[in-house]
């Protein structure tokens, strides 16, 4: 991709910060817009703090005036929209923040970019809207994976809010001609992921020798995608994707939650054995299942693979081992987060 001026929303989050680091590495000018909610962390971007082509603006995308000012002053060629409230459990407890951030915030951003293109000579700002496979809802065990023609059937307030944002993004393309591309990805994992998510949560619980809580029987299935593979796909889509298309990003790599937890325990048994010499598996505890817990997600990435020649660059087992090792080696990153968000 030739050097561009890129706005990334949610660029202090897990996936967003990986994308920002990659764009800076590729010599683009980047404006990172992030509200800095609890799951955001500017430490994810410490390595590029002093890079001249990187700048940060603490902005809530629900603040239309602030978004307008940022877009108009930075004059982007490309907007990559990742800002979102994303934790299903939190959405079940309180849906309104998800409606505000994921729906209202997305509409504000779409409006700002549309208005900017109408006022300026730069009428070709690509808008890549980054979403989730959860918009497709529950996939029966024997059903084929989701593809770009799968119908939306969100189960949680989180997935419903993301489904709405996808529809608004497509509507801005159809109604106003904004050059929009939508992506839907499977579960991400890798370094810098906030500790509330399954893989880092289990790693850090195990390191504290605390119970490893698994919902229900642990048989829920997810398709796992390394964050750097996701970023590679997003960069390819931003550069060469077809306007108006939807691209599903996944790896055909299905694991049950319980098998993921057992694999993490196996890796930790090897890399950092417990002081009592017992296996970390002994810490696994089954807890009451989450409300509306979808049984299975799975993505068919054939369209992305065939149209843009994208494929994953690592095996899941290798990526998971590297991720566990990263958390073992980077306590200075995660320890402050655990302290800051410890129950009062």
- Report the catalytic residues: 133-134, 158
The two tokens of residue 294 are: 């979808």
Residues 6+ positions from 225 with CB-CB distance below 8 Å: 185, 186, 187, 188, 189, 249, 250, 251, 253, 312
Contact of 98 with 154, CB cutoff 8 Å = no
- CA–CA distance, 333 with 92 (Å, rounded to integer): 28
CA angle 165–168–170, rounded 5-degree value: 110
- CA–CA distance, 194 with 189 (Å, rounded to integer): 10
Q: Is 112 exposed, middle or buried (0-12, 13-18, 19+ CB in 10 A)?
A: buried
- CA–CA distance, 158 with 88 (Å, rounded to integer): 6
- CA–CA distance, 326 with 320 (Å, rounded to integer): 10
The two tokens of residue 218 are: 């642990």
Question: What are the DSSP E strand ranges found in the chain?
Answer: 5-9, 29-34, 54-58, 78-81, 126-132, 180-185, 187-189, 212-215, 221-226, 246-249, 254-256, 284-287
Contact of 101 with 87, CB cutoff 8 Å = no
Short-list 70, 81, 80, 32, CA closest to 53:
32
Residues 6+ positions from 306 with CB-CB distance below 8 Å: none
């Amino acid at each position: 991709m030739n050097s561009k001026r890129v706005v990334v929303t949610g660029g202090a989050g897990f996936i967003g910060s990986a994308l920002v680091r990659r764009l800076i590495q590729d010599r683009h000018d980047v404006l990172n817009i992030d509200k800095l909610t609890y799951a955001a962390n500017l430490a994810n971007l410490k390595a590029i703090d002093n890079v001249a082509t990187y700048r940060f603006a603490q902005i809530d995308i629900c603040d239309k005036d602030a978004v307008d000012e940022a877009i108009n002053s930075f004059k982007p060629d490309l907007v990559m929209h990742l800002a979102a409230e994303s934790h299903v459990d939190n959405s079940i407890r309180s849906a309104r923040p998800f409606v505000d951030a994921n729906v209202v915030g997305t509409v504000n951003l779409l409006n700002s970019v549309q208005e900017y293109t109408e006022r300026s000579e730069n009428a070709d700002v690509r808008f890549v809207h980054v979403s989730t496979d959860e918009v497709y809802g529950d996939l029966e065990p024997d059903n084929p994976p989701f593809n770009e023609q799968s119908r939306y059937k969100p189960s949680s307030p989180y997935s419903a809010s993301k489904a709405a944002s996808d529809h608004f993004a497509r509507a801005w393309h159809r109604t106003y001609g904004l050059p929009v591309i939508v992506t839907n990805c499977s579960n991400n994992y890798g370094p810098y992921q906030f500790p509330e998510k399954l893989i880092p949560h289990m790693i850090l619980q195990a390191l504290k020798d605390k119970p490893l809580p698994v919902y229900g029987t642990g048989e829920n299935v997810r398709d796992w995608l390394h964050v750097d593979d996701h970023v590679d796909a997003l960069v390819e889509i931003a550069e060469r994707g077809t306007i108006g298309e939807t691209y599903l990003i996944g790896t055909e790599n299905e694991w049950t939650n319980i098998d993921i937890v057992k694999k993490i325990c196996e890796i930790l048994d090897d890399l950092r054995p417990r002081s009592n010499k017992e296996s970390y598996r002994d810490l696994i505890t089954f807890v009451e299942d989450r409300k509306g817990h979808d049984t299975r997600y799975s993505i068919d990435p054939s369209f992305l693979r065939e149209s843009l020649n994208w494929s994953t660059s690592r095996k899941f087992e290798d990526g998971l081992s590297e991720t566990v090792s990263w958390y073992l080696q980077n306590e200075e990153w995660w320890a402050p987060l655990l302290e800051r968000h410890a129950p009062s």
